[in-house]
C-alpha cells in the first residue's frame, strides 16, 4: 500500500481547515449553533436547506461581520449564461468558496465571472457509490470519473474541486498540489448514514485534502462545542506532526 503523505503545504490557517456544514431548517437555528461553537469554528458551509429557509444572505453577512468565512454551497447547475450571472451576483457577497456542477461550458461561465471568489467544481457526490453510478449510466469507476472531471475543471480555471477523501490521493498523484481539494463526508466514528464514500479526519488530510467539511458529527454530538474542539485538536496534531 502507498504510504506517501500528501499533506497540504498551502498557507492556510489550521483552524480554518475545518468547515462546519450549517445544515439547519432555519436561520435562527444556524445562528444559535454558530454562537454555541464560538471560536472552535471559523469556516461555515451554507447549502440549499438554509437557502430555502430564507434570510440566506443576511446570514452570510452576519457570519462575515463576526469574523467567520463562508462557503456558499449551492452547486450551481443551469445554462451557462445563468450560472455566470449567478456567480457574478455572488462574488461581492462575502463568500470565499462556491460550488459549480456541470459541463465545460457551465464551468467556463462560472470562472469568467468569479472575481476573487474561488470556484470549486463538484466531481462525484459522496452520497453516491458504484451502484448509484451504474444507475446513472456511468460505466467508468468512481476514481476515474472524479479524476476526469477534476482535470477538466482545473484546465478551465476552477480553483479546486469537491472530492471524497478516497479519491483525494489519486488527484494529488495525477494533478499535483496547485489546486484546492475540499473533502466532505468526514466520519470520525463508524458511518451509519447516507454518506457512502467516507474517510476519517486524519486520512482525508494525509490523502491530500486542504479542507474537510463536517456536519452531523458536530451537529448531533451531545456537546457540539466539544466535538468541534476535538476535531480541531486532531487536525492540529496532523499538521504539527508534519512540522516536527
User: Taking every pair of C-alpha atoms in the chain, what is the biggest distance, in angstroms?
Assistant: 49
> Is residue 223 in some structural domain?
yes
> Is residue 171 in some structural domain?
yes
**75 is an active site residue:** yes
Tens place of pLDDT for every residue, the chain, 244 residues? 356 789 999 999 999 999 999 999 999 999 999 999 999 999 999 999 999 999 999 999 999 999 999 999 999 999 999 999 999 999 999 999 999 998 899 999 999 999 999 999 988 654 444 454 445 455 556 667 778 889 999 999 999 999 888 889 999 999 999 999 999 988 554 444 444 445 789 999 999 999 999 999 999 999 999 999 999 999 999 999 776 6
Long-range contacts of 29-32 (CB under 8 A, 24+ apart): 30/59, 31/59, 31/62
Instruction: Give the CB-side neighbour count of residue 169, counting CA atoms within 13 A.
Output: 12
> Is residue 3 in some structural domain?
no
> Is residue 8 in some structural domain?
no
CA gap 53, 23 in Å, rounded: 11
Q: Could you say which of 75, 112, 118, 219 is catalytic? A: 75
* pTM for this entry: 0.89
Distances (CA, A) of 85 to 9, 56, 96, 161, 207: 34, 18, 17, 21, 35
CATH of the domain at 150: 3.20.20.70
Tens of pLDDT, residues 132-160:
444 545 555 666 777 888 999 999 999 99
> Is residue 7 in some structural domain?
no
Number of domains within the chain: 1
CA gap 147, 175 in Å, rounded: 9
> Is residue 230 in some structural domain?
yes
> Is residue 151 in some structural domain?
yes
CA gap 236, 14 in Å, rounded: 6
Tens of pLDDT, residues 74-110:
999 999 999 999 999 999 999 999 999 988 999 999 9
> Is residue 5 in some structural domain?
no
| φ/ψ (deg, to 5) at 57 | -75, -25
Boundaries of domain holding 113: 14-243
- Residues 90, 113: contact at Cβ < 8 Å? no
- Confidence (pLDDT) at 194: 42
Amino acid at each position: 500500500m502507498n504510504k506517501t503523505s500528501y499533506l497540504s503545504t498551502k498557507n492556510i490557517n489550521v483552524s480554518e481547515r475545518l468547515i462546519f456544514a450549517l445544515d439547519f431548517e432555519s436561520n435562527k437555528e444556524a445562528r444559535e449553533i454558530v454562537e454555541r461553537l464560538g471560536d472552535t469554528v471559523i469556516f461555515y458551509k451554507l447549502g440549499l436547506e438554509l437557502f430555502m429557509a430564507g434570510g440566506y444572505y443576511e446570514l452570510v453577512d452576519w457570519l462575515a461581520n463576526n469574523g467567520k468565512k463562508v462557503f456558499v454551497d449551492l452547486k450551481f447547475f443551469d445554462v451557462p449564461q445563468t450560472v455566470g450571472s449567478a456567480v457574478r451576483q455572488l462574488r461581492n457577497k462575502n463568500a470565499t468558496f462556491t460550488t459549480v456542477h456541470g459541463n465545460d461550458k457551465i464551468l467556463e461561465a462560472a470562472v469568467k465571472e468569479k472575481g476573487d471568489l474561488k470556484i470549486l467544481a463538484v466531481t462525484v457526490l459522496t452520497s453516491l457509490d458504484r451502484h448509484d453510478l451504474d444507475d446513472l449510466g456511468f460505466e467508468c469507476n468512481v476514481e476515474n470519473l472524479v479524476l476526469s472531471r477534476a482535470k477538466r475543471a482545473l484546465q478551465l480555471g476552477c480553483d479546486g474541486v469537491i472530492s471524497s477523501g478516497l479519491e483525494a490521493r489519486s488527484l494529488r498523484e495525477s494533478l499535483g498540489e496547485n489546486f484546492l481539494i475540499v473533502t466532505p463526508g468526514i466520519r470520525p466514528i463508524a458511518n451509519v448514514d447516507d454518506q457512502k464514500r467516507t474517510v476519517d479526519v486524519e486520512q482525508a488530510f494525509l490523502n491530500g485534502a486542504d479542507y474537510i467539511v463536517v456536519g452531523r458529527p458536530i451537529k448531533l454530538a451531545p456537546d457540539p462545542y466539544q466535538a468541534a474542539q476535538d476535531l480541531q485538536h486532531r487536525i492540529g496534531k496532523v499538521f504539527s506532526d508534519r512540522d516536527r
